Chain A
Amino acid sequence: MNCEECELLLAQNDVSSQVDAHVAGCPNCRALAAELQANAHALRALGEEMMPPLTVPERGIPWWKWTSAAAALIITAGAAWWASRPVKPPQIVSVDVKVTGIVAQAKVQPIPSVIPETLTPRIVPAVQVAQTEPLRVKMLTPDPDVVIYWLVD
């Protein structure tokens, strides 16, 4: 029996006469046998130790949830403010008058309104057309999507 075989048999707690004979004549295996015995005791002692109790980490709300909630709040508040803001009347920046009926040449009285006086046409040319149509006044505002028409009968 060589030392390697003896070591494995010692580790299996083999107490055969062959092992005893080898250990008796082999200081290395004798020392190993003593270590194995001491280890068996220490390993059992490790199994009797009490561990600190299991702790469950407190997990806060992830950062992305906070930021998402904050973004949603800001967007909602912004939309609410936008919807509730006072609506300003459109500001007229130019007036374009087109006479489509038979109208005698005359001075157009200044319109007492918010229309800037500089934008009020002084002279409206008379245009001969086949059919009488209402006077059309087109007013432009700073918003290109907002155009005001006056139809004057």
Chain B
Amino acid sequence: MKEAMQAAAGEISLEIEQTRSQFSFDELVALHQQRVLRTAYRLLGRVEDAQDAAQEVFLRLLKNLHRIEDDPQAWLYRVTVNICNDRYRRRHIVMEPALDLADPAPNPERVLELEERKRLLTQGLQTLPERERAAVVLRDIEGLSTREVATILDVEEVTVRSQISMARVKLAKYIRGRK
């Protein structure tokens, strides 16, 4: 993975920097890839965009690996949110059907209802302001604590609570309006 990312970025001299870090790049990619991809997908709403954003996140990780001293998870979430917000502002919004990632389950009706709600939530997330979207993705989808979200987004906890509450209400109303 590292070699491929280096080749993709044209970066050759990063090997030296990595050796100074306590973290292995490949291990970090393996450990956090799903979180980064999922967060990017929920923030951007498109799989290709999420892939591109995740690649950018891990390229930045590769470049900054020697500087990361604490748990890189918060750093990765922060960079993911920033990159996704930048990309979200730049791009023309085109919604795509929600990715069918669910496992088959025994109750078809409830599964259908859940899948429909997930699809609507995926769409509804794209209608939120970027700070509310980031807060609710990190808190409700990624399951981080309010404090962790506040650290990642560099805001007060009370601000995060407020953003999450407003986002939840907006999502609920969005889904009610489409039933």
Chain A nearest CB, measured from B12 CB (Å): 14
Chain A residues whose CB sits within 8 angstroms of the CB of B161 once the complex forms: 12
| CB within 8 Å for A56 and B55 given contacts A39-B168, A43-B141 | yes
| CB within 8 Å for A51 and B121 given contacts A32-B172, A43-B141 | no
Residue of B nearest to A57 (CB): B8
Query: Hey, what's the 0/1 contact readout for B154-179 against A, CB within 8 Å counting as 1?
Result: 00000001001110110111011000
Contact with A46, one of B29, B141, B166, B175 (Cβ below 8 angstroms): B141
Contact with A11, one of B121, B142, B164 (Cβ below 8 angstroms): B164
Chain B residues whose CB sits within 8 angstroms of the CB of A35 once the complex forms: 172-173, 175-176
Whether B1 pairs with A56 at a CB distance below 8 angstroms is yes
Chain A nearest CB, measured from B87 CB (Å): 16
Chain B residues whose CB sits within 8 angstroms of the CB of A56 once the complex forms: 1, 4-5, 8, 55
Chain A residues whose CB sits within 8 angstroms of the CB of B38 once the complex forms: 46-47, 49, 51
Q: Indicate if A15 sits at the interface (CB-CB under 8 A).
A: no
Residue of B nearest to A42 (CB): B117
Question: For the complex, what is the distance from the CA of A45 to the CA of B38, rounded to whole Å?
Answer: 12
Whether A12 pairs with B101 at a CB distance below 8 angstroms is no
Q: Indicate if B77 sits at the interface (CB-CB under 8 A).
A: no
A4-43 residues at the B interface, CB under 8 angstroms: 7-8, 10-12, 31-32, 35-36, 38-43
Residue of A nearest to B142 (CB): A47
Question: For the complex, what is the distance from the CA of A52 to the CA of B41, rounded to whole Å?
Answer: 11
> What is the predominant secondary structure among interface residues of chain A facing chain B?
helix
Q: Write the residues of chain A forming the contact surface with B, with a CB cutoff of 8 angstroms.
A: 7-8, 10-12, 31-32, 35-36, 38-47, 49-57, 59
B9-47 residues at the A interface, CB under 8 angstroms: 29, 33-34, 36-38, 41-42, 47
Chain A residues whose CB sits within 8 angstroms of the CB of B176 once the complex forms: 31-32, 35
Whether A42 pairs with B114 at a CB distance below 8 angstroms is yes
18 pairs from A and B in contact (CB 8 Å cutoff): A11-B165, A11-B168, A32-B172, A32-B173, A39-B117, A39-B171, A43-B121, A43-B141, A44-B143, A47-B141, A47-B143, A49-B38, A49-B101, A51-B50, A52-B37, A55-B51, A56-B4, A59-B8
Chain B residues whose CB sits within 8 angstroms of the CB of A11 once the complex forms: 164-166, 168-169, 172
Given A7-B169, A43-B140, 16 more A-B residue pairs with CB atoms under 8 Å apart are A8-B169, A10-B169, A31-B176, A35-B173, A36-B168, A36-B172, A42-B114, A42-B117, A42-B118, A42-B121, A47-B38, A47-B141, A49-B38, A51-B37, A54-B55, A54-B58
Residue of A nearest to B9 (CB): A59
Whether A54 pairs with B169 at a CB distance below 8 angstroms is no
Residue of A nearest to B1 (CB): A56
Chain B nearest CB, measured from A32 CB (Å): 5
